[in-house]
Amino acid sequence: MMLVMRLVFFVVTMIGTSYGLHRYLWVRLARDPGWSSFAQRGVAVVLVMLLTSIVGTMILVRSAARETVRPLAWVAFTWMGVAFFLVASFAFADLLRLALPAPVDEERRLLLARVVSGVAAFAAMAAAVKGAANVRAAVRVVEVPVVLPRLRGGRSWRVVQITDVHVGPTIGREFLAGVVDRVNAQAPDVVVITGDLVDGSVASLAEHVAPLGRIVARHGVYFITGNHEYYSGAVEWCEHLATLGIRVLRNESVPIGDDDGFTLAGVDDWTAHQFERVAPGHKHDMDAALRDAHPERPVVLLAHQPKSIREAQARGVDLQLSGHTHGGQIFPFMYLVSLQQPYVAGLERVNERTQIYVSRGTGYWGPPMRLGAPAEIALIHLRSA
């Protein structure tokens, strides 16, 4: 019942917010510029159709076959990105208008409204085109040197992190195969997948995640759940990934290497306990994850959401690897993300012992666009002081 209530709340909130934003776009694109009533009705009809496509896709992506929902998803999610840029452009224009005296002449007011509408629309479309071009480029490999004072010996460990791939209606096998090729090219000691791998069921996406079975890492491939796994059947996905040779870390740890190695720990997503009915026993349990950690070895913790760092630093974790934020994905959304997560992107020192690296993500969610937050595969070099 609780899960159903959350789902209803999410749908109602999404529809209400989407309606308000589309209403705002209609006001700025059609009403304020003073176009004819016929043009205003036409814009309204188009916006209602696009709004319906977004709502329909968000519902169908969890239940319908990937190939069925894919064409609608491309339309809906592309429009979602364009709409975001339009709202941001018009909001910025409105702030400028507040600082300027309003025209007293109606003809001048209409002219100004049309100029603002045209400029904002052009800026939004340019940003959308640039954002779409960014996600079609090859995913970059970001090298991240990290010093762990408790790491013994002089060797450097190569840990490759991918996260937030979001294999689903608009990201499939071809994209993931390219990512796997780039991962293998780094000759990793360890590969970690820090959640939000999929948006859809095992039945719909199994063939599209199959390339993960080709990853070659000296000390193994490890996975933890993100919040999107719980929308997509976390229990089934954990079982399926194991058949691909991937070790799922669920509030547990494993030793990596000998005396010169480290402990790799992983926790379920921060919100896992909310899905007890569909994923019994899943919860974010830091104590269980670190229970068997060697006291003299550094601990590298896999935690999907950066907010896990509060518990991690209290328990002396040396390095936390996270995703979830996408680095904001689309400018200026990263500033909103920072209100919900303590860290958004990059390597940060939390205290004298604990550090955190937050990846900008390897794929994307929703709009097939990235602006100001390029996708990445993180190659993390762990070395001693």
Q: 173 and 105: one domain?
A: no
Q: What percent of the chain has pLDDT over 90?
A: 74
**Left, alpha or beta for 162 (phi > 0: left; psi -120 to 50: alpha)?**
beta
The pLDDT of residue 65: 80
Residue 62 scores a pLDDT above 80: no
Q: What is the DSSP string of 182-214?
A: HHHTT--SEEEEES--BSS-HHHHHHHHGGGGG
330 confidence band (pLDDT: 50, 70, 90):
very high
Confidence grade of residue 110 (pLDDT, cut at 50, 70, 90): confident
Same domain for 13 and 161, yes or no, is no
Tens-place pLDDT, residues 266-280: 999 999 999 988 999
pLDDT band, residue 4 (cuts 50/70/90): low
Domain stop point among 117, 135, 153: 135
- Say how many domains are in the chain: 2
Q: Dig out the tokens for 368 from the structure.
A: 């097939």
pLDDT in tens, 180-229: 999 999 999 999 999 999 999 999 999 999 999 999 999 999 999 999 99
Q: Could you say which of 109, 135, 161 is where a domain stops?
A: 135
Asked whether residue 54 falls in the same domain as residue 164, the answer is: no
Looking at the structure, do residues 89 and 145 belong to the same domain, yes or no? no
256 and 369 within one domain: yes
Q: Could you tell me if 353 and 210 lie in one domain?
A: yes
Within this chain, do residues 92 and 222 fall inside the same structural domain, yes or no?
A: no
**How many angstroms separate the CA atoms of 382 and 300, rounded?**
10
Structural domain ending residue among the three candidates 110, 135, 160: 135
3-state SS track over 302-320? ECCCHHHHHHHHHCCCCEE
pLDDT tier at 155 (50, 70, 90 boundaries)?
confident
Provide the domain limits for residue 81.
2-135
Q: Are residues 123 and 190 in the same domain?
A: no
- pLDDT of residue 106 exceeding 60: yes
